[in-house]
Amino acid sequence: MQKTGLLMILCVFSLSCELISPGSASNLKTEGVFIVNEGSFLQGNGDVSFYNSETGQLTNSLFQAANGEAAGDILQCLVPADSLVILVVNNSNRLRIVRAADFKLIKNLSVNQPRFGALAAQGRVYVTCWDGFVRVLDLVTLTISDSIVVGPYPEDIVAYHDRAYVANSGFGSSNTITIINTSTQQLEGTLVTGYGPVDLVLDHDADRLYVACTGDAYASPKVPGGIYVFRESTMEVVDSVITVGNDTIFPSKIAVLDNHIFFIDGFAGSITVFDALLHLPVDTLVGNFYRVELNMENQSDKQVYATTSAAPGVLKIFDENRVETFSGGVGDFPGGIAFKNTR
């Protein structure tokens, strides 16, 4: 069921977002899921949807309802941060800071080609930018307090305690992960991975960092992608998946839960379920999917959340047996999913 309107938004948001170790908090409750709708290119119609896990209601256009306009051109990412939500709007070249309670706009910040963001323990949000920097947003002053040089065309970023990991994609030409010490704002090291790292999953409890690398399927010869697994404590590669069957993979999206790796091969497509212990594919969710996520913070939630690449797109939810249990229309090209987990 879908609903829109400010009254519904006010009922949905009572966000409390502290840093939670993935899988470590057994008393977590998943109240719902944010869907980040990029919008159609140059149309300026990026916005946010919310799926309420308790009621099954889907609310669209949260920013539009609260502020009388859409969030902008290519809404790339949403970062919940205590009483705030940070919207990363790539082609509008800005961060939009809103109140979590009602999604009312507090402040706009101009930032060059921002991509993805991650909340660190020190009360800062780290934002990757295509100009080769990570910008640091201070959540007290709501200003950019620092810029850190990383690799070319950085994409995803994940953070836990005093470390942040940045995927330097280079549009397929780079093969590094930059490690930032978020206490000192200094570079702590570099990991070498496959070419075109774009998506990261950090499972701190399992001591694993998963990296999806797109490679370059259009180069001649093709540059292989793959999935690389690092032991976080030692930063050594412990596993890699370059081919599935006889096919080289070029994964763009990845999610992990219970030794199963879910990935989308290419820009959009079906979701392959790969057993990391057996090193074999065990299932396929057929469709034109754009994003897949699993709730690593609350691993009692065994559902699979996925969105389709379309205008408008669709949110689909599958149970732990990978049977579809929900399908609802959202905004154009929903490329991000974030969980509202509370204690």
Partner residues linked to 109 by β-bridges = 95
**205: Cβ contacts below 8 Å, ≥ 6 apart:** 21, 22, 23, 24
SS (HEC) of the chain? CEECCHHHHHHHCCCCCCCCCCCCCCCCEEEEEEEEECCCCCCCCEEEEEEECCCCCEECCHHHHHHCCCCECCEEEEEEECCEEEEEECCCCEEEEEECCCCCEEEEEECCCEEEEEEECCCEEEEEECCCEEEEEECCCCEEEEEEECCCCEEEEEEECCEEEEEECHHHCCCEEEEEECCCCEEEEEEECCCCEEEEEEECCCCEEEEEECCECCCCCCECCEEEEEECCCCEEEEEECEECCEECCEEEEEEECCEEEEEEECCEEEEEEECCCCEEEEEEEEEEEEEEECCCCCCCCCEEEEECCCCCEEEEECCCCCEEEEEECCCCEEEEEEEEEC
CATH assignment at residue 118: 2.130.10.10
Q: Are 337 and 36 in contact (CB under 8 A)?
A: yes
Which residue do the tokens 């008393």 mark? 27
Q: Are 6 and 61 in contact (CB under 8 A)?
A: no
Among candidate residues 280, 285, 279, 282, the one with its CA nearest the CA of residue 265: 285
Phi first, then psi, for residue 43 (nearest 5°) are -95, -15
Tokens of 125: 């949000």
pLDDT tens, N- to C-terminus, the chain (343 residues): 334 343 333 333 333 333 344 544 557 889 999 999 999 999 999 999 999 999 999 999 999 999 999 999 999 999 999 899 999 999 999 999 999 999 999 999 999 999 999 999 889 999 999 999 999 999 999 999 999 999 999 999 999 989 999 999 999 999 999 999 999 999 999 999 999 999 999 998 899 999 999 999 888 898 989 999 999 999 999 999 999 888 899 999 999 988 899 999 999 999 999 999 999 999 999 999 999 999 988 988 999 999 999 999 999 999 999 999 999 999 999 999 999 988 8
Query: Rounded CA gap, 6 and 308, in Å?
Result: 26
Phi first, then psi, for residue 75 (nearest 5°) are -75, 110
Query: Rounded CA gap, 162 and 183, in Å?
Result: 6
Q: Are 89 and 32 in contact (CB under 8 A)?
A: no
User: Tell me, what's the pLDDT at 2?
Assistant: 39
The number of beta carbons lying within 10 Å of the beta carbon of residue 108 is 14
Partner residues linked to 15 by β-bridges = none
Q: Give this prediction's pTM.
A: 0.92
Phi first, then psi, for residue 64 (nearest 5°) are -60, -45
User: Tell me, what's the pLDDT at 26?
Assistant: 58
Domain with 123, as residue range(s), is 2-342
What is the count of structural domains for the chain?
1
User: Tell me, what's the pLDDT at 18?
Assistant: 36
Query: Rounded CA gap, 341 and 18, in Å?
Result: 9
Query: Rounded CA gap, 252 and 216, in Å?
Result: 11
Q: Are 256 and 273 in contact (CB under 8 A)?
A: no
Amino acid identity at 147 = S
Query: Rounded CA gap, 131 and 145, in Å?
Result: 17
